[in-house]
Structure 1
Amino acid sequence: MNRRHFLLSSAGVAATGLVEAPLFAQGRGGAQMPNGPLPPAIAALTNRVSGVKPITIAERQERCNSAQTLMAKNKIDAIVITSGTSLVYFTGMRGGNSERLFAWVLPVKGPAFIICPVFEEERMRELTGNVPGGDKVHFYTWDEHENPYALLGKGLKDAGLATGNIGVEEQTKFAFSDGFAHALPAAKIVSATPVTAGCRGMKSAHELELMKLANDITWHVYEAAWKSLTPGMTTRDASALISAAYMKCGVSGYASVEVDEFSALPHGSIKPQTLKEGSIVMIDDGCTVEGYQSDITRTFVLGGKATDKQKQVFEIVRKAQAAALAAAKPGAPCEAIDIAARKVITDAGYGPDYKFFTHRLGHGIGMDGHEWPYLVRGNKQLLAVGNTFSDEPGVYIRGEFGVRLEDDWVMTENGGEMFTPTSKSIEEPFAV
């Protein structure tokens, strides 16, 4: 559950006293789905992912090789990953994050090994089909009464690494990290981010292909939704319609929808909202293709008749988005992108600093919707070819409306390149 999904959780909805519109019914996974024929623009969408190629074992082996190169460069003797996106990235294994320790450990040299409960070994061995090294991966197992953390020390000793710097990913539970530290007093627990983010931040041609497809699907789903939204729908109705559109495209996706004064809250509100003729509508989020994310935001006026102020703010945000992309050059610091966009907005009278543009310019994106590196003031990390980001400036006028434009892009040798067409105007958001 991400920050936006939380706003539409059952607990959040119950707190509002919101009653579902009869136009929509509960569908697969508890999602609200259209009850009856789909609007023509959404009905016309087709499956886009039937021929998509998944990530191969060979690609995962290349990732492990790159990780070991970065480990040597950063003086990290092994990395320990217990669950989550990085586990999938390197191994293809998907596991829950329970209180029982499961860990995939990659030493700086040699093959990886796995630590898991005895009763889970057979199941985990079934999952090693996508793991580099396959059935040659060594398992260290522990019974329920035993200390699993000591097995990390044994595995490292067997790999010739009795002491050293052990990299732990930032998403790791404190209990696990603390257990490693107590079990390995001669070792030093350090951040594995230089390795995990260092690998995941540099997208391969195959990864970019998947991300481009995810973004293209989202763009077309949003366009179909724009053609299908009508006055009287609630924002939950609109989100359900978009979910149905993603299903037509063969993917899992979601969108938060905010209206009028609630569009001035960057991540929206749980309060009931209804679309009206002339409403400012903000749609945000994306879909997943083979584990790779899109994240697009469009802001438009329902009915296509904007006020002069709305047009003016939209144009300021559009210019800020363009300025950010123009500042994207290999070797430029990440913060330069934020600075370029913020200057446009401040110079237009919507400053200073975070007064109206209340968040950073963007975030890295890939297998996670938000991941390293981040486009924010103070981040001196240099942009590199293969980095992928969101570009999402906004102006939020509390009590009135907000405008945010978000598109995803890749850093190329020649500069930043958007995955999808940008928004032309607040009245024609999908005109190219």
Structure 2
Amino acid sequence: MANYPAITSTERQTRISRLRATLSERNVGGLLLGSTESLRYYTGLEWHASERFLGALITGSDLIYIAPAFELSRVETLSREPGEIRAWQEEESSAALVASLLPPEATLAVDDSLPLFAYNALVGEIAARRLIDGGPLIRAQRRLKSAAEIEIIQFAMNLTLEVHRRAHKFIKPGISASEVRRYIDDQHRLLGAPGGSSFCIVSFGDATALPHGAEGEQVYKPGDVVLVDTGCRIGGYHSDLTRTYMIDDPTPEFARIWAIEREAQLAVFEAAHIGATCGSLDSAARDVLVRNGLGPDYKLPGLPHRAGHGIGLEIHEEPYIVRSNHFALSEGMCFSVEPMIVVPEAFGVRLEDHIYMSKDGPVWFTAPAEGPTEPFA
């Protein structure tokens, strides 16, 4: 398959420059990042979080990595943006080290994905009044994807869509859900996702009415509804696609609900324009369900959860397509369209594709499903 673009140092330095401009405008002394996806976003450094703090402090002039001393040699070998590395020993406090790097009385914005124990340690070294939520500063940048980010997500979505096609052909009577999950993982790897499936839900029959799947093994039998929801990571960015279908001729009730689901999905797409609120998209989906005698609100049979979520370095991130979210859509936002319909103890239908907002409006990453037995366009 074709290569996908990498996020360049130039792009990350642009992100840092924009962050610094915001810090200056708001008179904030710096932003402290933990071992989170935001650390990767700004610095390129990937690190698994543990009880030992590792992160980075971005100030108006410096990028300083904070690391356990015994991990110093490893950090030095990893790909990252240039910056000084300051180490702390086992008996020392990483929070005290962070405090020592700030001017007196400076305000510190804190990564909102930082664990509570790390935040509490900061409170012990820096007056709580000087600590502010860094989440809004981070999310203001991360929710607007660059052309390179969109291209990577597109690559990942294309890959997972092909995996869905192969899985559809693989499912036969007597096959177990775990066999299908293993097959999907193998196909993700074969097509170029080094970590295989980042997640995978395979449900048959009435288990499809459970949005995130059922516990225990399931075996496909003729006449079952099939729901497959899976994705992978490419260059750190997620794909996430769901298809629901019947392999045999659909029952009239399944075909009816499937058509309503598809209409609701299209209604969200048509409501998505620059300046529209996220909540208005959720309402567009629910209006379709109510017109067809489902719902209202979160009542079942109907839509039990939000109509979509943002995607990027995290599989669920802003913007959230949910009631009462008054945030306006802007160019560069990427999010799912998945107004699932649940018929309790019978079946569920979730059709999930993602869109990105161009300056001219919404664009599908993947073409939606064709019909109740035709899960691909």
Matches within 5 A, 1:230-309: 230-251=172-193, 252-253=196-197, 254-303=199-248, 305-309=249-253
Matches within 5 A, 1:30-429: 48=1, 51-107=3-59, 109-127=60-78, 129-131=79-81, 134=82, 137-157=83-103, 162-185=104-127, 187-251=129-193, 252-253=196-197, 254-303=199-248, 305-355=249-299, 356-429=302-375
- Distance, in Å, in 2 between the alignment partners of 1:232 and 1:78 is 58
User: 1:73 deviation in Å?
Assistant: 4.5
User: 1:140 deviation in Å?
Assistant: 2.5
- Distance, in Å, in 1 between the alignment partners of 2:73 and 2:183 is 42
- Distance, in Å, in 2 between the alignment partners of 1:373 and 1:103 is 25
Q: Aligned pair in 2 of structure 1 residues 142, 278: CA closer, same or farther (>3 Å)? A: same
Q: Aligned pair in 2 of structure 1 residues 138, 146: CA closer, same or farther (>3 Å)? A: same
- Distance, in Å, in 2 between the alignment partners of 1:122 and 1:187 is 35
**Aligned residue for 1:30?**
none
Q: Conserved in 2, the CA contact under 8 Å of 1:70 and 1:198?
A: no
Q: Conserved in 2, the CA contact under 8 Å of 1:164 and 1:187?
A: no
Q: Aligned pair in 2 of structure 1 residues 324, 75: CA closer, same or farther (>3 Å)? A: farther
SS in 2 for 1:383: coil
User: 1:74 deviation in Å?
Assistant: 4.8
Q: Give me the identity figure in percent.
A: 33
Residue by residue, what CA displacement relative to the aligned partner does 1:148-176 show, whole Å, maximum 9, x if unpaired? 2121121112xxxx223321122211111
Q: Aligned pair in 2 of structure 1 residues 58, 348: CA closer, same or farther (>3 Å)? A: same
**Aligned residue for 1:29?**
none
Letter in 2 for 1:300: Y
Q: Conserved in 1, the CA contact under 8 Å of 2:95 and 2:122?
A: yes
Q: Conserved in 1, the CA contact under 8 Å of 2:30 and 2:109?
A: yes
User: 1:146 deviation in Å?
Assistant: 1.9
Please identify runs of 4+ aligned residues in structure 1 that moved more than 4 A. none
Q: Conserved in 1, the CA contact under 8 Å of 2:5 and 2:151?
A: no
SS in 2 for 1:424: coil
SS in 2 for 1:231: coil
Q: Aligned pair in 2 of structure 1 residues 186, 334: CA closer, same or farther (>3 Å)? A: closer
Residue by residue, what CA displacement relative to the aligned partner does 1:53-84 show, whole Å, maximum 9, x if unpaired? 32111111111112223334555331111102
Q: Conserved in 2, the CA contact under 8 Å of 1:239 and 1:256?
A: yes
Q: Conserved in 2, the CA contact under 8 Å of 1:181 and 1:188?
A: no
Residue by residue, what CA displacement relative to the aligned partner does 1:367-405 show, whole Å, maximum 9, x if unpaired? 111111211112111111000000001110111011011
RMSD of aligned alpha carbons: 1.5
SS in 1 for 2:45: coil
Q: Aligned pair in 2 of structure 1 residues 380, 308: CA closer, same or farther (>3 Å)? A: same
Q: Conserved in 2, the CA contact under 8 Å of 1:140 and 1:155?
A: no
Letter in 2 for 1:315: A
- Distance, in Å, in 1 between the alignment partners of 2:123 and 2:341 is 45
Unpaired segments ≥5 residues, structure 2: none
How many residues end up aligned between the 2 structures?
Answer: 372
